[in-house]
Structure 1
Amino acid sequence: MLKTKCLHPGILNVLSKCGHGDKILIADGNYPVDSNTNKNVEKVYLNLTHGIPLVTDVLKVLNKTIAIEKLEVMIPGDDTKPSIFDDFKNIVSSVDCLEELGRFEFYEACKEENIKLAIATGEQRIYANVLLTVGVA
């Protein structure tokens, strides 16, 4: 029996293959996972219904499963900071700051070959997407 926080076999399979510098996308319910990720990324659709699960739920589990070196977020074009960004920093206290990317810059980052996993959630808050960089255990 596993003692890790993550029990999803598909996610665990991909995480076991990730190395330092590989990335994982946790996407909100509005993110176009099919069209804005690379063709080789493993896609996991956890979006059961509106609001289940939340991006922060998935982030909490992954934070207890892998080392996270960096967080990248998609920022609105109007210089506002979505409140979920504070949640991200509180959950992953090992990172000092969030790297902010514009919408289209974030989309391009999610198409890179080092994105190994994309997890779709039921998150309804906008700009609640986060790219995790796998750190050294």
Structure 2
Amino acid sequence: MLKNLNPLLSPDLLQVLRAMGHGDEIAIVDGNYPADAHAQRLIRLDGVSATAALDAILSVMPLDLPEFVPEPAFRMQVVGNPQAEVPIFQEFRDLIGKHEGAGYTLGSIERFAFYERVKQAYAVVSTGEARLYGNIILVKGIIKPA
């Protein structure tokens, strides 16, 4: 056990997060997502919600700065209604705000474009999220020197 570290951050997940560089992407996907088929590196968090995984990851990984990329986090659009909002989208926004503060937005990507972007991601975290559209891609940022 480690102090002050979310217990969802397994050794494998911590290794992936540490190995990622600035601009690398990590996807957190729901239980319906074809994670094994799309992942270069797959981390399984079965039984864990996508929001709990997001909260744990953002507790140690910075998102890219808004001045470097306009949207350092993306969610999948609802099929047939790209403007639609489902409750998990606001939960994603709330967690991003909790960890990164104001100025960070949650972008959206069409379903098949999302799939292609996940295939290019450094890693995929497959969760047990049962809610539809519980998928998000994060762009890793930097730690500014003090």
Q: Common fold, TM-score beyond 0.5?
A: yes
Q: Which runs of 5+ in 1 are unaligned?
A: none
1:57-79 Cα shifts (integer Å, max 9, x gaps): 00011111110221111011213
Q: Which runs of 5+ in 2 are unaligned?
A: 65-71
Which residue of the other structure, out of 28, 53, 57, is the alignment partner of 1:58?
Answer: 53
Runs (4+) of structure 1 exceeding 2 A deviation are: 1-7
Root-mean-square deviation (Å)? 1.5
Question: Structure 1 stretch 5-14 or stretch 82-91: which is displaced more?
Answer: 5-14
Aligned residues: 128
Give how far 1:15 is off. Answer: 1.0
| SS of 2:21 mapped into structure 1 | coil
Distance 1:23 1:83 in 2: 24
Match of 1:131 in 2: 137
Give how far 1:16 is off. Answer: 1.1
Q: Which amino acid in structure 2 is aligned with residue 78 of structure 1?
A: N
| SS of 1:108 mapped into structure 2 | helix
Give how far 1:30 is off. Answer: 0.4
Which residue of the other structure, out of 67, 70, 73, is the alignment partner of 1:71?
Answer: 73
Match of 1:9 in 2: 11
1:107-131 Cα shifts (integer Å, max 9, x gaps): 011112xx12111111011011000
Bigger share in strand: 1
Distance 1:32 1:9 in 2: 23
Which residue of the other structure, out of 119, 123, 130, is the alignment partner of 1:117?
Answer: 123
Bigger share in helix: 2
Distance 2:123 2:115 in 1: 14
Distance 1:12 1:62 in 2: 9
